[in-house]
Amino acid sequence: VNPWRIAEGSMPWDDVQKWLQHPSPPEGVAVVGMIAGAAITGALSLLRPRFVGFPWG
């Protein structure tokens, strides 16, 4: 059997083990993007009941 086929099943778990043993710090740009996305989603959810058909109408 090809060694690649045998090792393929353990590769994701090896990655998880590596991430848990050697965590990396959060990326500032990604965190800002998530906060901006949450703010936009919150604003749209607050505006939708106030305006019929908002934002598509």
Q: pTM for this structure? A: 0.58
CB–CB of 9/16 below 8 Å?
no
Instruction: Output phi, psi for 54, to 5 deg.
Output: -65, 140
Res. 57 pLDDT band, cuts 50 70 90: low
Rg (CA), the chain: 22
Mean pLDDT of the chain: 90
